[in-house]
Structure 1
Amino acid sequence: MKTLSINELNNKATAPVRTKIIVKLRYFTIFPNIFETYFKLYILDYLIKFCAENEMKTILRSNFLNPVNHDKCDFLCDYCLTIDEQGKIASLEPYSEKLTGNNDRIVDLSNSVITPGFIDLHSHLPQYSAIGIGKGALLPWLSNYIIPLESKFSNEQFAHEQSVAFFNEALSFGTTTIVTYCSIHRHATSIAFETASDIGIRAFIGNSLIDLPNEAGYFSSLETIKSDIDFLVNKHHLTNSEKLQYIVTPRYAGSCTKELMSYSANFAKSNDLFIQTHLAENKSELELMKKLHPEFDNYTGIYDKTGLLTDKTLLAHCIYLDQTELAMIQNARSIVCHCPTSNRYLSSGIMPLVDYQKMGLRIGLGTDVAAGYSLSMLNEAKEAIETSKSYDISKDENGNDISAANAFYLSTKGAAENLNIADKVGTIHIGLDADLAIFDLDIKQLSANSEDILRSLIYKKFNQSAKAVLIAGKRVYGSL
């Protein structure tokens, strides 16, 4: 019969089980040699079974909003959710006294609403402290305010402080997965990964790849970039139980040579990595592309010809695109990151969200801090709804405003599908990781209509912190 050492037992048992086994072992101290060296497998199985049967479960009794598709969200009133020891959702069913055992701990959250953790598809960690600072159009704003700030990330202490603040604030608003740009600096990006791991958030993180010389000196050589990418992928990709991923990040075609864009595309393909960049955010940006890359027919064509347009590419903004460009994006199945707050703050324009959805484009929402002035995805959902109304007004049309269910889906399940993590997060279903955001919201005076509940949540809580946030069943923010 197979025997196990104390170390093997420690690795096999979960933390609660280990604690109870250690307690029981104190009764066997009269046999130190036997129990220090060997454990019969049947004894181990008995102890683990004993501990599991006596383990206290935590059950969340609350109201749940669960996204289904662009048009539908399920509202589950007075349900109970149980999380297993792996941090996965073990059960979700209507409340009943029969659900609970003598040892179970029920957390009464009946005056709260629980949603899947939000997923932010586009943001900039190094710009966090510039929220609300500066004005003007995109390109001058970048030159006057943002590039000088990002340059400070060569200081590792500054990079650490900003990373802590950025991820903690994202968590406070219920964001459990975030896709973010970092500065051009290898060590600052590494610090961002380490900070995200310590805090527990899921993140797709990439150093900004810039090799076109600029007046600020904020760029790197192609050889340095290659070395930095190799280092960061080898050290951080798929770490912390695969919660962290490296994402290839050519800043935009206005800061990259064709050689860098092609290399980025090939590297991402060879290593099965996501790509993120910017596209057609501002009219002046379009003119810049014509000067820098005159051999291409249009802006999107630059990415298409250099291999960056893939089904794992996130394209931020996408405001000014013609039908040819939209067809390229649709054929490649690239993901459009809609950033309505940022688009308005810099007076960039309005992305025709509903038109793009009717085309079948893959779309998600991004806060785009710091042009976006909040890391709250509820705020971004609100802005998506309100901007769709503004688009209607500008076109003297009706029917292009989106529902709360649509905005909610883009912030949760839809985003998870775009990032290929819908088998883990994005909805509240048995077997998925318990990534949850809990908000205080008295629903007694509201109808049981999910759209009304969603609107109340979005418009009342868009600038407020969550009560608590869980990632893989572990509380990472707030209290229960």
Structure 2
Amino acid sequence: MAASAPISKTIYIGPFAHSTSLTTLEIQPLGAIGVDETGTIRFVERNLHGGPDELIASFKASKSAWADAKLVCIKSTTTGFFFPGFIDTHVHAPQHPNTGLFGKTTLLDWLQKYTFPAESSFSDPSVASRVYQNFVSRTLSHGTTTAAYFATIHVPATNTLADICLQRGQRALVGRVCMDSEVSPEYYRDESAEASYQASKASIEYIRSLDPGGVIVQPIITPRFAPSCTSACLSAMGRLAQESNTRVQTHISENKGEIDLVASLFPDQKSYAHVYHAHQLLGPKTILAHCVHLSGMERRLVLESGCKISHCPASNTAITSGCAPIRLLLDEGHTVGLGTDVSGGFSPSILENVRQAVWVSRHLAMQVDSDAVKLSTEEALYLATCGGAAVVGLEDKLGGFEVGKEWDAQMILLGNVGEEGCQDGNFGEGPVDVFGWESWADRVEKWVYAGDDRNTVAVWVRGRLVHRTGRYPGYEETS
């Protein structure tokens, strides 16, 4: 579904839920949200009563400026609701074909066995187009309205990813991966630091020519991680970030073997974080993925630099990297969002990583014998929306349903179990069953811990419909 159609002034009627703070999830059993032609929320009505027809008549009478607005009404106000779009703060788009493949590997041998061979194939433009078209569709179907993408070293393939995101209407930070050291295989690395600089600059210029205002697609400088880059390459990327005023994304302290490798490659630096600091890569526009094993000194440096953190719980478990101490990072004041880290992560779903974030915090609680490190459902949902928005620098526009923010949203539909239950095995609305006795908090929690993309029936970005399932649309549109 392309996102080229003009945006209509629209009123969305139905239940909605969103985070208003780290620990508070507002759930409205029936509300209305008005979105103008720019995709911006102009009013939010709460605590409404009555049926759709009654509400529509009331809005047309009381809001003359919205009399000609399109109306999107959720059919079932007991099993359907609006929720903000998810924000994936760390994902490797070219690794999509390898999703679910990690076997018995840990990080460094996983890269050699699975990742580098797959990414090197993107020198073929047809491979890039096929994989990226599929993956953007897949992430949209899971309610991901914004993604920070790692691409490959290939400029044409990276530009293709930006083209597809813009065409489909998914907000994206798209980065050409930089890697020139001997840690990377000879068949898949930049020829030199200068070549890496020039290729990254070319991709930045192309992406900005596509979307000069960065409304939907932005470039992001992407040194893969310190071991894959020479000091000259890291310096070149730090210089390019300053010259072009571009965001930066990379990995840090994901795996203990990786940390030891960094120490051996950069013996003059006090820590992994200091490697990036020395090359001018830490700052308010930097996203650091993983942060599983940061020392106290590193955490202070990251916080003082204003860097943002992407927590990738499914990947950290799959590759046996460890349990990131997210409660500690939040208590210290770090800005944290969630990342799928496909294909280290086994799912392109941020919802899956919401529950994995909760599970990882509980495993950590058992390790340290303290419930204080646990994350609540509300906190994990905040990381998936508001936290992610802050990580990618869009907290003023995204994350919730407040006046002035933009309509990046998904419509969720849960299964309504009739009096006789399902006897034919046709669970059309997905894996979540609602029996009627549940409170709204119960229904949302059921979705969090049992839901999947089958429950996401429609997705909007900046007011444009970018995904809709044709099986159970679950809503009505009225012109």
TM-score, reference length from structure 1: 0.85
Report what 1:121 is aligned to: 89
Secondary structure of 2:153's counterpart equals coil
Q: CA deviation at 1:57?
A: 5.6
Report what 1:108 is aligned to: 73
Using the alignment, how far apart are the partners of 2:156 and 2:83 within structure 1? 35
Report what 2:297 is aligned to: 324
Q: Is residue 193 of structure 2 the alignment partner of residue 227 of structure 1?
A: no
Report what 1:132 is aligned to: 100
| CA displacement 1:121-170 (0-9 Å, x = unmatched) | 00001100101113210111110111000000000010001111111111
Q: CA deviation at 1:448?
A: 4.1
The 1:427–1:262 alpha-carbon spacing in structure 2 relative to 1, beyond 3 Å, is same
CA contact (8 A) 1:172 1:465 kept: no
The 1:306–1:113 alpha-carbon spacing in structure 2 relative to 1, beyond 3 Å, is same
Secondary structure of 1:100's counterpart equals helix
AA of the residue aligned to 2:202: F
AA of the residue aligned to 1:231: A
Match of 2:451 among 457, 461, 469: 461
Using the alignment, how far apart are the partners of 1:73 and 1:419 within structure 2? 21
AA of the residue aligned to 2:397: K
Q: CA deviation at 1:417?
A: 1.9
Report what 1:338 is aligned to: 311
Using the alignment, how far apart are the partners of 1:388 and 1:76 within structure 2? 28
Q: Is residue 215 of structure 2 the alignment partner of residue 256 of structure 1?
A: no
Q: CA deviation at 1:429?
A: 1.7
Q: CA deviation at 1:465?
A: 5.0
Compare relative contact order (CA 8 Å, sep 6+) and give the higher one, 1 or 2: 2
C-alpha RMSD of matched pairs (Å): 1.9
Match of 1:83 among 22, 28, 35: 35
Report what 1:53 is aligned to: none
Q: CA deviation at 1:269?
A: 2.0
Secondary structure of 2:407's counterpart equals coil
The 1:302–1:58 alpha-carbon spacing in structure 2 relative to 1, beyond 3 Å, is closer
| CA displacement 1:86-115 (0-9 Å, x = unmatched) | 222232214444113576654331231111
Match of 1:412 among 367, 377, 385: 385
Gaps of 5+ in 1: 1-13, 17-55
AA of the residue aligned to 1:373: F
Report what 2:424 is aligned to: none
AA of the residue aligned to 1:164: Q
AA of the residue aligned to 2:91: S
| CA displacement 1:163-213 (0-9 Å, x = unmatched) | 111111110010100001001101100100101111110000101100113
Q: Which has the higher helix share?
A: 1
Report what 2:58 is aligned to: 98
AA of the residue aligned to 1:397: S
CA contact (8 A) 1:120 1:411 kept: yes
Report what 1:41 is aligned to: none
In the TM superposition, 1:438-457 aligns within 5 A as 438-441=411-414, 444-449=436-441, 452-457=442-447
CA contact (8 A) 1:249 1:275 kept: yes
Secondary structure of 1:429's counterpart equals coil
The 1:259–1:103 alpha-carbon spacing in structure 2 relative to 1, beyond 3 Å, is closer
Report what 1:36 is aligned to: none
Report what 2:177 is aligned to: 208
Using the alignment, how far apart are the partners of 1:427 and 1:215 within structure 2? 43
Larger Rg: 1
Match of 1:142 among 79, 87, 111: 111
Using the alignment, how far apart are the partners of 1:139 and 1:385 within structure 2? 26
Q: CA deviation at 1:238?
A: 7.3
Using the alignment, how far apart are the partners of 1:234 and 1:310 within structure 2? 22
Report what 1:52 is aligned to: none
AA of the residue aligned to 2:288: L
Q: CA deviation at 1:218?
A: 1.1
Q: CA deviation at 1:227?
A: 1.8
AA of the residue aligned to 2:438: L
The 1:345–1:100 alpha-carbon spacing in structure 2 relative to 1, beyond 3 Å, is same
CA contact (8 A) 2:100 2:347 kept: no
Secondary structure of 1:337's counterpart equals strand
Q: CA deviation at 1:423?
A: 2.1
Report what 1:70 is aligned to: 22
Number of aligned positions between the proteins: 426
Secondary structure of 2:362's counterpart equals helix
Match of 1:350 among 323, 326, 329: 323
| CA displacement 1:312-348 (0-9 Å, x = unmatched) | 1111111112111111111112111110000001111
In the TM superposition, 1:180-191 aligns within 5 A as 180-191=149-160
Moved more, 99-108 or 191-200: 99-108
Secondary structure of 2:39's counterpart equals coil
Using the alignment, how far apart are the partners of 1:251 and 1:436 within structure 2? 31
CA contact (8 A) 2:17 2:28 kept: yes
Secondary structure of 1:215's counterpart equals coil
CA contact (8 A) 1:254 1:288 kept: yes
Report what 1:179 is aligned to: 148
Using the alignment, how far apart are the partners of 1:284 and 1:293 within structure 2? 14
Gaps of 5+ in 2: 49-54, 62-66, 417-433
Moved more, 409-418 or 385-394: 409-418
AA of the residue aligned to 1:304: H
Using the alignment, how far apart are the partners of 1:283 and 1:15 within structure 2? 50
Report what 1:32 is aligned to: none
AA of the residue aligned to 2:45: E
Percent identical: 29
CA contact (8 A) 1:61 1:79 kept: yes
Moved more, 417-426 or 125-134: 417-426
Q: Is residue 128 of structure 2 the alignment partner of residue 159 of structure 1?
A: yes
